[in-house]
Structure 1
Amino acid sequence: MTYQEGLNQIDKATEKITDANQLTTDMVMNVFLFTWQWWVALAMMVIPWVIWLILRDRKSSARIFSAGLLLMVLSEILDAIGVSYGKWAYPVKVIPVATVSFSFRLSLLPVFAMLLLQFKPRFNPFIKAIFFGASGAYVGLPLLAMMDLYKKIDWSLTYSFLILTSIYLLAHWYSRRNSFEEISENNGDNH
């Protein structure tokens, strides 16, 4: 295959992605919008962030939020890869984008992780990570599947458990970096 043929193939693939997004938009707007599943997904996008705003420790919220952002970015990248390769899908969506589920990866998971990071910060992070991974993989995903918000296609929940556990440990490690303390100390000196 020549370079130009490769570009032509990419054009065809882009057209298929555009068609998939249009089909997803049509289904959300004409079938799923305002169903109870849609409302649950919307609540999963909004309520965790409201809880975070209420319960967050203002002294450490920037540090913990940074770790939450890291978790969001990593989980969204891995999620996009999994959806792209047909390992799982998100049938009912609040925002009609074929490959993204904002409610789970960009709200529920990071807020849950940030709350775990904030509360009992000296508690064993491995136990917290296992709790986070098990809750997400063996409780959260099956509940989402029962509500048609998640569909496992060619995937094991144990893989999700291992990934979620690892991502939590990375977020924990990141949230404990000394650079956060240095920034905090420097800001304290200026006031």
Structure 2
Amino acid sequence: MSAQTEALNKLIKEQREGAKQWLHYWQEFSAFDTWQFWFHVIMFVTPLIILLCAMDWKRAFQLGFYGFNVHVWFTYFDDFGTTQALWTYPYKMIPFISHSVGLDASLVPVLFILVYQWTTKHNKNYYIYTLLLSLFLSFILKPIFVMHHLFKFNSWANYFHLFLTYIIVIVLSKVITDFFMFMQKKAQEIANQVEPAKKGRRSKFR
């Protein structure tokens, strides 16, 4: 057995052992009989219900694409922080996932979707309002989570670092969404130009 294979097998074994320990911890302290578990369930379900009622379904694709961007980028950052032990969610809805499903897959994306929908509909400055939301999430919501032991810093990371991740997320999500909307518009314009030409050629051969 090569040194590389031996090292990899050792890491896999430690990873499996760590997963077992997290499952045991969840069963002991964060399962169905704790208020923290149900808090995470509510945090996951409630924003999605609100989104179903408040979303502009005529723009569902655009809003959903933007929200999925927020979800993916925020999950990447949150997953990095938890796997590097910069921070921890002591209580979880799902024990097999290192980050908070309620935050990453529901609350944060929904909040940003609603702000994005409002700013684009009323021609407001997207970056100002998402910056205000990022300040709220980083310096008000997360300290409340810390106060109730729902979130814990373990190392050098702090609230300002969380705020920086939000800044990156809102910029990436907006730029990527704008790019794809631009490409969709261009494709539609080309299709509109090609269609009359096709009709014209067909009419000549009739």
CA contact (8 A) 2:119 2:126 kept: no
1:70 shift after superposition: 1.1
Instruction: State how far apart, in whole Å, the 1-side matches of 2:53 and 2:184 are.
Output: 22
Which residue is equivalent to 1:108? 107
Q: Identity percentage over the alignment?
A: 21
Structure 2, unpaired ranges of 5+: 196-206
Q: CA RMSD in A?
A: 2.1
State the structure with more CA Rg. 2
Structure 1 residues 68, 180: CA separation in 2 closer, same or farther (over 3 Å shift)?
farther
The worse-fitting range, judged by mean Cα deviation, of 177-186 and 30-39 is 177-186
What is the letter of the counterpart of residue 95 of structure 2?
Answer: P
Runs (4+) off by over 3 Å: 179-186
Quick check: 106-115 or 148-157, which moved more?
A: 148-157
Q: Does structure 1 conserve the Cα–Cα contact (< 8 Å) formed by 2:73 and 2:169?
A: yes
Aligned mate of 1:179, from 151, 176, 183: 183
1:52 is matched with: 51
TM-score by length of 2: 0.81
Query: 2:204: which partner in 1?
Result: none
The count of residues paired between Structure 1 and Structure 2 equals 185
Match of 1:80 in 2: 79
Partner in structure 2 of residue 21 of structure 1: 19
Taking structure 1 as the reference length, what is the TM-score of the superposition?
0.87
Structure 1, unpaired ranges of 5+ = none
Secondary structure of 1:100's partner? coil
SS of the residue corresponding to residue 149 of structure 2 reads coil
- Decide whether the 8 Å contact of 1:20 with 1:98 is kept in 2: no
Is the Cα contact below 8 Å between 1:132 and 1:165 reproduced in 2? no
Picking from 10, 13, 17, the partner of 1:12 is: 10
Cα distance change, pair 180–141 in 1 and its aligned pair in 2 (3 A): farther
Tell me which residue corresponds to 2:200.
Answer: none
The change in CA–CA distance for 1:182 and 1:53 in structure 2 (over 3 A counts) is farther
d(CA) in 2 for partners of 1:171, 1:30: 38
| TM-superposed deviation, 1:179 | 3.2
The more displaced of 35-44 and 7-16 is: 7-16
Tell me if the contact between 1:130 and 1:165 (Cα under 8 Å) persists in the aligned partners: yes
Letter of the structure 1 residue corresponding to residue 64 of structure 2: F
Higher relative contact order (CA 8 A, sep 6+): 1
